[in-house]
Each structure stands twice: as structure tokens, then as C-alpha cells.
Structure 1
Amino acid sequence: MTEPVVSPQELGRGFPAGFRWGASTSAYQIEGAVAEDGRKPSIWDIRCRIKGKVNNGDTGDIACDHYHRYPEDIALMRDAGLQVYRFSTAWPRILPRGRGAVNPAGLDFYDRIVDATLEAGMEPWLCLYHWDLPQALEEVGGWVNRDCAFWFADYAAVVAQRFGDRVKHYITFNESSVFTIFGYSMDWAAPGIIDKAAHLKATHHVNLAHGLGVDVLRDSVKGASIGCVHNNQRVIPETDTPENRTAATLLDAFWNHAFPDPQNLGHYPPQLAELMEPYVQAGDLARICRPCDFFGLNHYGPIFAKADPKNLWGFGWGSPPEDAPKTDMGWPIFPEMFTEELVDLTRRYRLPIYVTENGCNTGDVPDAAGVVNDPKRIVFLTRYITAMLKAIADGADVRGYMVWSLLDNFEWGSGYGNRFGIIHVDFETLKRTPKASFRWYKDLIAAHRAKG
């Protein structure tokens, strides 16, 4: 990637008044303290202990130790001038068995997070589910069990009743397409099931849980702003063959439409409608399609798909073109497709969009002076935020942006090998070091806020 040609100050001044800037994290990826104060295992605690499922045998046992170090992390966000902190609550920390008895210590922890976020002058955006289903629920079927949708609604009620006086922005789920495809058809994520019926049931039950959760939040929190976070990106055939085109079309349906379409349009995409029929009960789609206030978008780059008969649904991940720019982990960089996605989503769903994740992995480490320079990330952010500004000019209704991620953290199957943070974390000492991209982002935000 070449050097950016737009300064953060110039870029920040280009955004409309009222645009919100923030950062995102998730509970299992940063909290640690997995067996403290009453928390019980999630499906990811179990997966991390299965040999070969996570690089280097890494676990989230300690992660960034945000559970104990959150004051430092929130102080760093305040220093950056962030206006929004998007975090997730851990279901097994609040309801250790997934249902039944509430864990007061878990609620107390998130009280501290919420209060510290507000005291720092930021809005807390609370995501109810970022992949960490209580293992106790998995043992009775998890998302394959229709009852899980109702257990989720009960969990949402506990959270809303405790935090609704202070938290007004809620996200039901993070990237439902990702954790269902990877967890129920490819064994790339917990719970590691490969079964078509299980995948379809989990998809429908998560959708149902979303709708039930929206209603609970709407009834419980006065003035709530509610949405769901989807990972949307163009799916392109690796090469232009009939087999690859067919694979790309089906992957596109599962990845980009299986959740936002029923949640916002009231129906499954045509490619999936017949497959879903056995699991859709009378009235389900009306219970799923509940009014939302925003569309949360996680976006990194396009997917190149190929036919792969060894995979459950016949699609697989292909390789981007050899000459395509890529991040350090090989993800393709196409900012113009970010522009197109924002415009297309505005037209399709007619909801304000908040970009809830965008960023890139780089392998930067402190130099001899302890400074972390990450020029590749700065170039990436410059390109993608510029593309977002163009989308707004082209009619996209984008209201805010949250970088992924605040901290280097546990990146699921990649363990600690991929660093997405604007703050470096030494996983031996847990020392935090703001990177050059942190200062770049701080300058951008300051320039925008100074504009008034």
C-alpha cells in the first residue's frame, strides 16, 4: 500500500456534523477472567481446548485482561476522543448456565463498564451476543434448539432491566452469518458442527432470537435505539466458471442475505426460502421482522468464492487475484467496494448505517524506543474512510464509524497471531501501547469535532 495522500485533519473535516466516531471490542476477545466471579464456560472456552482448533493452542483465558484493566482501556479511549464504545456482554458471565439464576457479579462488572464509559464522555453501545454462547445451553442443543431463541430473549430482558436507565443503544447479534456458517457448516468456529439441518435451524433460530430480543428491548428501555450487526461484502467468483458462479450465488445468500433480509424485509432470500421452510413456523417471519433503528455493518473486503464439493454446501473460499492489494493476513483491499456496499445497503434496507467494524491486521511491534508504527493500517484506514465519505456523497445514509479494534486481542481461530488493534498489547506483560494509527485516528476525530 502506498502512503496516504489525505491528512487525518482534512479527512475528518469532510464528514457531516453529528457523525459519530468510536471503537469496537467483544467480551471473549478481550476480557479474560473466564473462571472468575461466577462466570461459567462458553462454547469458545471449550473449543480453545480442542487440539488444533486455535492457532498455537491460544485461549481467551486472559486475553487482554480487560476484566481487571478496563479503567486503563477506557482512559485511552477518552484520550483518543472517541464518542462511542461498542462492547459486548458475555452471556455466561451474566447467566452462567444460560438461563435461570442471574450472576450478580457479572452484572456488577458491566455496571462498572457502563458507568466508566459514560464518565469518559462516551456513549455505551451494548451488543448482546458476540459468539460466546453458554456451554450449558450448547449441551441442550444450543442454537439448533428452537428454545434457545426464547432463552436469548430472557437474557436480553435481564440486560435491559439492569442497564436500560443508562444504555440506550443496543445490538442484538454480531455477524450472525459468520458464526452460523463457520460454526455449523465448516468447523471454523464453535461449536464446530458440520450438518445442513443444524446450519439451517441455527440460522432460523438466531433470526427468531433477534426479533424476540428487539421486542424485549423496545418494551424495557425507554428511548432505545436498536439494531443488528451484519458482515456484508461482495461475493465474487474466483474465476468466471459456471461452477464458481453457482457457489458464489449460494454463499452470497448465506453470507449477505440470510439475516438482514428476514429481519428487515420479512422474507428469506430466494436461494434459501425452500431450504428454510421446514423450520419456519406460522408467524415466525412476523416475529423476526421487527422495526430496527439502524443497520450495523462490519466490512473488511470482498470474498472470492469457488466451487468446493468437499464442503457441506459446495462453496469454499477462493483466492483474490494475484495483483490485488492485500492485508498482512491476505484479505483483499478494495475500498471502492465499501463505497458500493454502503450505497446498496441504504437503498435495500432504508435504515441509517453505522459501520461497527472496519480495520486490518498488521504485524507491527514496538521498536527499540517502544514506539509502534503501523503505516499499513493508516493507509488502510485512510482509504476506507475516504471510501465511506464518497458513499455519503453518493447517497448512503452513514451516521458513524467504529474501528476494529481498540486493542490487539484474541482473534478466534487465529489466536493472538493477528493484530487488529490501534493499541498494541504485549500478551506477556499486558502493557498497552497506542500505535501511530491511534494518534492518526485521534487527529481525525479532533478535526471533525472542531468543525462543529
Structure 2
Amino acid sequence: MTLPELSNLPEDFIWGVATAAYQIEGAVDADGRGPSIWDVFSHTPGRTKHGDDGDIACDHRTYWRNDLELIASLDVPAYRLSLSWPRLQPGGTGQLNAVAVRWYRDLLATARSLGIAPYVTLYHWDLPQELEDQGGWPERRTAELFGEYSRLVADALGDLVEGWITVNEAWCASFLGYGAGVHAPGRHDLRAAVAAAHHLNLAHGYATAGIRSIFPRASIGVTNIIAELVPADRERDADAVARLDAVNHQLFLAPVYHGEYPSLLRDLLEPYGFAELVQPGDLEVISAPTDFAGVNHYQRVIVSDDPTVELTGAREVPAGVARTSFDWSITPDALTRVLQNVAEYTDLPIYITENGASFTDNIRPDGAVEDPERVDYLTGYLGAIDDAIAAGVDVRGYFAWSLLDNFEWAEGYEKRFGLVFVEFGSQRRVPKRSAAHYTAIIRSHRDAIESRTDFAPAHQGASL
């Protein structure tokens, strides 16, 4: 396998893999766990592909030790996981569930004992259904409760956590969940989506304060999904790109890193009650200092003006000929430009907290899983990160999405993102060729560092 040349990566560059609780844990009735919006959504006919749900998923609640040992065997030194809010706090209020706390403490401690640094995401879309019944993210109270939940989690688990991500992809949680209705909770109400977006930003701020109240020096960030937006016609569609960028990106980047909602964004959101949402002091809460910026990146899209599209007036199509099974474009240099764009918002270190591709993978008769497309994908996108660093962007780490094939939200089990193949009937795990490729890249980077005469061991084990 040809390895990418990564001569610009820093010595303390963090290599990791990532997962999310509802996508892998299963065991939805264990530990006193309560239902989440994804339990209800996936059990509603017509919501997910083939009616798939996360009841079992990868059964990580049973196989978690094996999965951690698998990470260690691949020589991956960091693991980004999310905690299940309805497992830890079934109704979204009150004290934490002691059984779930014990399990997560065992999981985090075991990871550390295997030399794996755990990075924890507090919210990866699994809102307790009880809170949705009370209005969900369009209600300000949900953000306040999330802040209290974050404080309790930090107190219970924080001594075992290397770094914290407060919220994963607030755009998806708000606009796909409450606007388009294609994700849980499946509502079709743009006014509710806009309210959810602001309250998810506020939740990030409250969570940051909650964690810092327990661990003042904790390493904290928030993760946003950022695509490269390219106009179909440079002159005709430039305004469409600006509008889409405002709603998809600036709505979440600007308040966190600049303490403001830009004027174009406010104008676009005004018909949806945005002005009444933002209360005095909100932006100060949202923009409280953090330690890193998380970026999830998957594709470049071509944008054209289309007045029939509500809110943004912009139409998106994937760019390029090469596509994943999700029909997302494979354009590595898009990541270089995305990282440069984010660096214009903040001088904080940047971590790619998700990047990966879905392909149609199968086990061969000899037991191997060959995925040359994903091998090429990793090579290309890691090279793009190296190019961004060479251009002056402070990129400190990369978490491949995902460790395991898993429940891919509304797409069910058809879309496989894993470095490790999961045979869902037997729960057999089979590392794909891309897993070996990723391991080889990690080892090559480590070997290059150790071969330098000026190598200082103190650089190892850096955290977010």
C-alpha cells in the first residue's frame, strides 16, 4: 500500500477513530436507559430505510471490551465516542443513572489502560424523548437542562476524559431533525429548526460552563459539519453560496468564535422569529472561550440559485464524478479549503473530528474485506490535511469515521462507513484493508518522529 506523504504533520498529531452511542451501543433497554428521539423515530413506519432501528446495532454494550481491544490492535491511540444522554439520564432531568455511570467509567478506564485516549462527545443527537415531548430543542429549557446534564457528567466521568466535544453537528440536529424531518424527531417546521439551532448553540455554551465548573482546565470544543460550497456559475450563483454558507456554517461558527450572528444571517432568519430567540447575554454564553475547533467534513457541493428552496434560495448537488455510496463527492482538496476557511474564523487548533466514506463492502470467501476505494479516500484526505498545514492552518488531529459499520441514522444499515466490517447477524468484526492502511499511516508518522534526532518524548500524548 502506498502511504501518503505527511511531512507537515506535527509530532503530537492525534490519530483517532470515532463512533456515536445510538449508532453502535444497542441494548436500548439495559441500564435503565430511557427512550430517545431516535428510538421513537426509527420505530415509526416509513422513517428509516427498511424500517431499521438501533435496538441492537453493533451491540457495543455487550462487545465494548472487544471493540476497545480492536482499537488497540490497530495501533490507534485516540477514540472519540459519545455518551448516551437517555442512558445516563433517562428523562433528561435529575441525578445520573448509577448503573450507566459505572459502565461508562469502566469503558473509559479500560480504554486508558489500553493506551487509548478517550475524547467524549456529550450530544450526538440522542435527545431523551421526555424532553422532546416537552418541546425539544426549539425550547430554551432544553439547552438549560443540557448544561446541568453536562455538569453532572463532568463530575461523574471527567477524571477519565481527555477532551470534550459539547455538541456534534448542530446544523443536522436542528435543520434535518426539525426542518426537513428526515432525522429525529422528524418535524417539518423551519421556525422550530431555527429555534433549535440557537438553543443548540446556547447548549454548547451552557455545557462549556458546566464542564469548567468541575474541571477549569478541561479541553473543550464544539464540532460543526462544514462542506465546501462552490457556485455553479461564479457570478450568477455567488449570492446563493453566501446565503447557504450563512445558514449552514455561519449560524454555528460566528456566535461561538466571534460572539455574533452576522447581518445576512439575521435577515434570512428574521421571518422565522429569530430576533425574539436571542436574549441578552446569550452570545456571551455561546462565545465563552474554548480550546479547539472541531470540523466534520464529507463533501464539496455545487450551489445554484433556486428561489423555490425555502430559507436559503439555494440548490445543492454533489461535485465531481467520484462519489461514495451516499452519493457524496470525493474531492480531497475541498478539505484543504474548508480548513483554511475555518482558520479565518478562529486561531484555535483545529481537529477533524469526523471524515470518512461509505462504500458497498462485502466479506470475500477467504474472509477478507477489500475496500480499495476507502484506502484511496484516506490517502487523499490525509494528504489534503497535510497541504492545509503547509499553508499555515493549525491542524492537530484526525478522527476517522468510523471505527465500525453501524446504524447510519435514516439510512439504516445499508451505508457502511467502518474501517471494520460488522456482520450484524453474528456481530462478527472483520478489519477491512482500510484499517490496515490507517494503521500503517499512523505507524509511519510515529516512526518518522522517532527517527528525528531532535525528537522529544514530551510531545507524545498531547490532548485536545
| TM-score normalised according to structure 2 size | 0.92
The residue that corresponds to 1:409 in the other structure is: 406
The residue that corresponds to 1:24 in the other structure is: 18
Q: How many residues align?
A: 444
| CA positional deviation for 1:433 | 0.1
Is contact 2:361–2:369 with CA below 8 Å preserved after alignment? yes
The residue that corresponds to 1:250 in the other structure is: 243
**Cα gap change, 1:197 to 1:258, in 2 (>3 Å):** same
- Separation in 2, partners of 1:227, 1:353: 10
- Separation in 2, partners of 1:266, 1:314: 22
- Residue type at the aligned position of 1:287: V
| CA positional deviation for 1:265 | 0.5
- Equivalent residue in structure 1 for 2:260, among 267, 281, 297: 267
- Does 2:130 align with 1:133? no
The residue that corresponds to 1:116 in the other structure is: 110
| TM-score normalised according to structure 1 size | 0.94
- Separation in 2, partners of 1:121, 1:139: 41
Q: 1:177-188 to 2 correspondence within 5 Å? A: 177-188=171-182
Residue aligned with 1:295, SS: strand
- Separation in 2, partners of 1:64, 1:448: 31
| CA positional deviation for 1:316 | 6.0
- Separation in 1, partners of 2:178, 2:234: 28
Is contact 1:11–1:444 with CA below 8 Å preserved after alignment? no
Residue aligned with 2:283, SS: helix
- Separation in 1, partners of 2:293, 2:312: 30
| Bigger mean CA deviation after superposition, 189-198 or 106-115 | 189-198
- Does 2:343 align with 1:346? yes
| Bigger mean CA deviation after superposition, 64-73 or 104-113 | 104-113
The residue that corresponds to 2:362 in the other structure is: 365
| CA positional deviation for 1:185 | 1.4
The residue that corresponds to 1:175 in the other structure is: 169
Where do 5+ consecutive residues of structure 2 fail to align?
Answer: 451-464
Q: Could you report, residue by residue, the CA deviation over 1:276-295 in whole angstroms, capped at 9, with x for unpaired residues?
A: 32211111111111101000
| Bigger mean CA deviation after superposition, 273-282 or 420-429 | 273-282
Residue aligned with 2:410, SS: helix
| CA positional deviation for 1:222 | 4.6
Is contact 2:37–2:128 with CA below 8 Å preserved after alignment? yes
- Does 2:207 align with 1:210? no
Is contact 1:13–1:447 with CA below 8 Å preserved after alignment? no
- Does 2:61 align with 1:67? yes
- Separation in 2, partners of 1:308, 1:136: 38
| CA positional deviation for 1:223 | 2.8
The residue that corresponds to 2:457 in the other structure is: none
Where do 5+ consecutive residues of structure 1 fail to align?
Answer: none
**Cα gap change, 1:314 to 1:352, in 2 (>3 Å):** closer
The residue that corresponds to 2:462 in the other structure is: none
C-alpha RMSD over aligned residues: 1.7
Residue aligned with 1:256, SS: helix
How many percent of aligned residue pairs carry the same amino acid? 40
Residue aligned with 2:164, SS: strand
| CA positional deviation for 1:227 | 0.2
- Separation in 2, partners of 1:113, 1:12: 32
- Separation in 2, partners of 1:245, 1:187: 28
- Separation in 2, partners of 1:238, 1:417: 31
The residue that corresponds to 2:138 in the other structure is: 144
Is contact 1:305–1:315 with CA below 8 Å preserved after alignment? no
- Separation in 2, partners of 1:142, 1:161: 25
- Does 2:99 align with 1:105? yes
- Equivalent residue in structure 2 for 1:162, among 156, 159, 162: 156
Is contact 2:48–2:412 with CA below 8 Å preserved after alignment? yes
**Cα gap change, 1:346 to 1:117, in 2 (>3 Å):** same
Is contact 2:147–2:203 with CA below 8 Å preserved after alignment? yes
| CA positional deviation for 1:183 | 1.1
- Separation in 2, partners of 1:205, 1:418: 30
Is contact 1:83–1:123 with CA below 8 Å preserved after alignment? yes
| CA positional deviation for 1:254 | 1.5
